[in-house]
Amino acid sequence: MSQTRHVPVMLQRCLDLLAPALETTGGPPPVVVDCTLGLGGHSEALLSAFPDVRLVALDRDKEALRLSGERLAPYGDRATLVHAVYDELPEVLDRLRIPAVQGVLFDLGVSSMQLDEADRGFAYAQDAPLDMRMDQTAGIGAAEVLNTYPPGELVRILRAYGEEKQAKRIVSAVVREREKEPFSNSARLVELIRDSLPQAAKRTGGNPAKRTFQALRIEVNGELTVLERAIPAAVRSLAVGGRIAVLSYHSLEDRLVKQVLAAGAANTAPPGLPLVPERYQPRLKLLTRGAELPTEEEVAENRRAAPARLRGAQRIREDER
């Protein structure tokens, strides 16, 4: 496996955010969960930086688990790798008999491995089967979405998940073309998008297929639906003093993360109470002011860091029982 292609995004900042919860002063070893293992760059750094920590790492992609298993083998039983989607975190912790954890990390979006393996169909820059499933053993691929979804549903997906202003034009062209021959490969879709967009739309925002590919990927993997469940579940899994760090790569993910963390950091008391009872006090303290961005140096070194947005929070109170 080539380690050179995988540079973990905002690595040092993630470690710094989680460090106060993972640096032990005696007691049982702290547990950190990497909800998006990928090629294991963040996980390896966590195990290396915090010698007492126990890692639980999740990924829905079996190939990622295999490659990361090789990478993390030197850490022995300090690392437990699990084939699971990140909204399954509560079930995974139950199975492992872990009541609460000290740290949780999410690095959302597509892993470097999935982008770099041409036959997965995630990248619009090279021709490949239109698959886009992060777990290739489950669900339907992007080609089936394109070939079978009603036009109105395709327009909704492109607008909601790709923020694509030209959704109707693109879907009209897709519907026309799929009647002649079903879609199977990415190059044909990229060409169709280029041909169906007005000149002005092609002059801004990079590859004109980018938003459609993002929308299809989110739909195929149920990413936002999963994330809506996963972030609250991760917050609930934190012990008091535990910390969560979340890297997002587009505004839809970031908005969702922001809403969950902001709600946890707000007091929920009815207005006008002279003293706020314990049960209304915030459960979280925000650790980042808004979303933190990668440095210019990091983006120069790793172009995939450019859209990253990092948010962090600390658990400061138990839930009411």
Q: Which of 166, 194, 221 is at the close of a domain?
A: 221
120 falls within a domain: yes
Q: For residue 128, what pLDDT is reported?
A: 84
Same domain, 286 and 311: yes
Using the predicted structure, report yes or no on whether residue 321 has a pLDDT greater than 60: no
> 158 with 290, same domain?
no
Residues 106 and 195 in one domain: no
CATH for 284: 3.40.50.150
pLDDT band at 118 (very low <50, low <70, confident <90, very high): low
Does 320 reside within a domain? no
Distance CA 127, CA 189 (A): 10
Kind and range of the H or E element at 177?
helix 167-180
- Position 191 confidence tier, pLDDT thresholds 50, 70, 90: very high
- Res 248: pLDDT: 94
| Residue with token string 């990668």 | 294
Q: Which of 180, 202, 221 is the last residue of a domain?
A: 221
With respect to residue 301, please indicate whether it lies within any of the assigned structural domains: yes
105 and 238 part of one domain: yes
Mean pLDDT across the chain:
89
- Domain co-membership, 156 together with 191: yes
Q: Are residues 35 and 107 in the same domain?
A: yes
Residues 118 and 213 both lie in one domain:
yes
72 and 150 co-located in one domain: no
- For residue 289, being part of any structural domain is answered with yes
Shared domain for 178 and 302, answered yes or no, is no
Instruction: Identify whether residues 92 and 153 lie together within a single domain.
Output: no
- Per residue in 235-294, pLDDT tens? 999 999 999 999 998 888 999 999 999 999 998 888 888 887 888 889 999 999 999 999
Q: Answer yes or no: do 79 and 96 share one domain.
A: yes
Q: Is pLDDT above 90 for 134?
A: no
Does residue 321 belong to any structural domain of this protein?
no
Q: If you search the block for the tokens 């998006």, which residue do you land on?
A: 36
Q: Residues at the annotated binding site for S-adenosyl-L-methionine?
A: 40-42, 59, 86, 107, 114
DSSP 80-138: EEEE--GGGHHHHHHHTT---EEEEEEE-S--HHHHH-GGG---TTS--BS---SSTTS
Tell me, what's the pLDDT at 4? 40
The answer on 195 and 157 residing in a single domain is yes
pLDDT on residue 129: 87
pLDDT of residue 245: 98
The last residue of a domain, from among 221, 256, 280 = 221
CATH code: domain of residue 174: 1.10.150.170
- Mean pLDDT for the stretch of residues 3-20: 84
Question: How much is the pTM?
Answer: 0.84
More confident: 2 or 180? 180
Query: Which has the higher per-residue pLDDT, 128 or 173?
Result: 173
Assess whether pLDDT exceeds 60 at residue 230. yes
Q: Tell me the binding residues.
A: 40-42, 59, 86, 107, 114
User: pLDDT, tens digit, for every residue of 39-57?
Assistant: 899 999 999 999 999 999 9
Which domain range does residue 120 map to?
A: 114-221
Q: Check: CB of residue 53 under 8 Å from CB of residue 25.
A: no
Q: How many domains does the chain have?
A: 2
Tokens describing residue 238: 């934190």
